[in-house]
Amino acid sequence: MRVEYTDLGIMNYKEAWQKQGLLMEKLKQEKSESKEGLNHLLFVEHPHVYTLGRNGNQANMLMNTIQLAEKNADFIKVDRGGDITYHGPGQLVVYPVFCLTDFRIGVKEYVRRLEEVVINVIAEYGLQGERMEKATGVWIDAGTSGARKICAIGVKCSQFVTMHGFALNVNTDLNYFNYINPCGFVDRGVTSIERETGKKANIDEVKHFVLQYFKDIFAIEYANYLFEY
């Protein structure tokens, strides 16, 4: 399966959201016309922003409008699954716009594969990522009192085409998570590759690993990317 990879660099959340939506609608239209269509994989870092999923509880945002402004952060209600999360510099956000019928999988398997990508990526840094029952995403020390999330996942699927995706904390300023109940949890922490290893990770290297494991786990070929890192 051929996929077009795009690194959006640093882009505000709403602009990236709009771009995903346009790509999703284009792919849906192509599929409805029995055309091959092109799947997309978008990488981005966002300026400080909190996003609340369609079934989320706004009470999990612990700051008011004035406090948000003081932190130079936005708050946006979005159309993905999941509750509230934070995006910001040093976090790699990955948005696959995939037609699941091309991959012959359903949403549950799709999310499992996203988790598998991240588990393999952080293993490159000596970290053991795990799944947690009834808690989508990738965790460190899952099932213990010290469980902490390193990657949040929230997706939308319409006519078998996906948008949104996952946010992997690489060198993220974790203090920004103190102002929310991340993903609705009040008794579990968050972490990053930097926090767990004690040193900053090269985010370009992380991107390379993410691309590699998408290639392996989803059995894709990139229309415009050569592995020369």
Which are the catalytic amino acids? 183
H-run or E-run covering 108: helix 107-123
Sign of CA dihedral 56, 62, 63, 65: positive
Measured between alpha carbons, how far is residue 163 from residues 45, 90, 135, 224 in Å? 16, 21, 20, 20
Nearest to 157 by CA among 20, 6, 11: 20
Instruction: Name the token pair of 228.
Output: 């020369």
CB 78 within 8 Å of CB 67: no
Angle between helices 107-123 and 203-218 (to 10 degrees): 140
Rounded to whole angstroms, how far apart are CA atoms 180 and 149?
Answer: 14
H-run or E-run covering 16: helix 13-32
